[in-house]
Amino acid sequence: MANVLEPVVFRADLLSDVQGFDYGTEPWEKELAQWMQAESIEAMVHGTKVWLYLNQTGDCVGYSSLGVAQWSYPTKKSPRMPVLVIPAVAIRTEFKGEPKGDWATDPSVDGRYSSQIMRHLLDSASQWPGPMPAVGLFVDPRNTPAIKLYERFGFAKYDPPYTDKATGIVYDRYAIRRASCW
Amino acid sequence: MSTADESQSAAWMTVAEAYQEAWKRDHDLAMGCRDCEELVATGLHVYGLLEECKARWCEQVFRGAISFSENRDKAFRRAHQLWVMTTQAILQEVVDDIERQFDEVKGATELRRLLPIMEAALRDWQPPRLSLAVGLRDQQLTEEGAAALDRIITSTAPLPYIPQKQPVRELSADEFKRRLKR
């Protein structure tokens, strides 16, 4: 298939190759560009995996990431629960909605880059070692294309929105049951 | 400075100062190989302790479990400086001498290897910071959110996408660099 993406495990010396990529002008898109530049390497030190995606014509179309966070239930005695999270995932502006085609809505066969990246993330999540029951993510509620994509893959909203005290930005919280293969 | 800050900072300084004290106390006696080996062993032990504490602190700040504290950062940096000064003195004033006359001092090779690492860490000191990606921060679920998450986790409804069982094929970074369109 001509437009199959191949994931590449990111490392520090690749940062210069992806510098200056344009992910869009919306606030959440700028945030994703900033994360890649300013935090991806540090996040890897804290156990997060980051991937770049290369298409068959040699373009890097975007990146994704997968890590672990601790969530606590609201009771005092309940222990913290590790969950897999997708901290950041982004597609460069010129590759959004690509490749064009009469794609089925079934997320298992949709050939768009966004769906290929989600499948890779969920495959990687299922093979991540450890008893983590869910995969979670935070998304700007105005980012409707991303929300549609997540919902198509089965993510559901699970908690009232989260407000980042540092920036005042509000995020919707989504999660999906983790299909485990380990 | 908060009570927690004070006790943490005091603990790091105590460990680093104890290392320095051991060096001062044993300075005249350190010409004996055995005393020297003990000093080197203490240096290695304190190094491990400082690195472990630093990693834990960075992780907690990154995850938002505790807030960054300027005072704690200063105290931590001071403890690292003390370790470097003491280690330089031990290596230059005692270990080198003994090794010229006798055999290699046990642990000295490792201490020599660690010294430039710690010096570089001090030179490029990066205070820890809160993760930009809210997904990587520790989360406290609300009661409503915890119930919704439980429903997601325990749901038996089929997932729209069933992850692949075979390991995901990933390109190497070198292959990426070779194939990337510039």
Q: Is residue A182 part of a domain?
A: no
User: How many domains is chain A built from?
Assistant: 1
Neighbours of A45 (CB within 10 A): 11
Q: ipTM score of the complex? A: 0.92
Q: What is the mean pLDDT of residues B121-134?
A: 95
Which residue in this structure is represented by tokens 């997904």? B135
Asked if residues B173 and A9 have their Cβ atoms less than 8 Å apart, the reply is yes
Could you read off the pLDDT of A104-157 as tens digits, one per residue? 778 888 889 999 999 999 999 999 999 899 999 999 999 999 999 999 999 999
pLDDT at residue number B34: 64
Could you read off the pLDDT of B67-115 as tens digits, one per residue? 999 999 999 999 999 999 999 999 998 888 888 888 888 999 999 999 9
Q: Is residue A85 part of a domain?
A: yes
User: Is B124's pLDDT higher than 60?
Assistant: yes
H-helix or E-strand containing B135? Answer: none
* pLDDT interval class at A1 (50, 70, 90): low
Could you read off the pLDDT of A10-45 as tens digits, one per residue? 999 999 999 889 999 999 999 999 999 999 999 999
Instruction: State whether A162 and B152 contact (CB < 8 Å).
Output: no
User: Is A182's pLDDT higher than 90?
Assistant: no
pLDDT at residue number A117: 96
> Containing domain of residue A155, as a range?
6-177
Shortest distance, CA B149 to any CA of chain A (angstroms):
6
Q: Are strands A60-72 and B139-140 parallel, antiparallel or unpaired?
A: parallel
Could you read off the pLDDT of A35-75 as tens digits, one per residue? 999 999 999 999 999 999 999 999 999 999 999 999 998 88
pLDDT at residue number B20: 81
Q: Could you give phi then psi for residue A4, rounded to 5 degrees?
A: -75, 135
Distance (Å, rounded) from C-alpha B132 to C-alpha A40? 10
Asked if residues A64 and A12 have their Cβ atoms less than 8 Å apart, the reply is no
Q: Which residue of A has its CA nearest to B144?
A: A159
pLDDT at residue number A79: 76
Angle, CA A118 vertex, CA A160 and CA B162 arms, to 5°: 95
Which residue of B152, B164, B169, B179 is the best one to mutate when testing the A interface, meaning the one whose CB has the most A CBs within 10 A? B152
Q: What is the mean pLDDT of residues B116-143?
A: 94
Instruction: State whether A8 and B130 contact (CB < 8 Å).
Output: no
Q: Is residue A152 part of a domain?
A: yes
Q: Is residue A1 part of a domain?
A: no
Q: What is the mean pLDDT of residues B173-179?
A: 93
Q: What is the CATH number for A131?
A: 3.40.630.30
CB contacts under 8 A, A 53-92 vs B, are: 54, 57-60, 65, 67, 69-74, 80, 85-88
Distance (Å, rounded) from C-alpha A61 to C-alpha A114? 10
- Residue B63 with chain A: CB contacts under 8 Å: 46, 69-70
pLDDT, chain B, mean: 87
**Any bridge partners for residue A6, and if so which?**
A54
User: Is B7's pLDDT higher than 60?
Assistant: yes
pLDDT at residue number B1: 47
Asked if residues A5 and A117 have their Cβ atoms less than 8 Å apart, the reply is yes
User: Is A3's pLDDT higher than 90?
Assistant: no
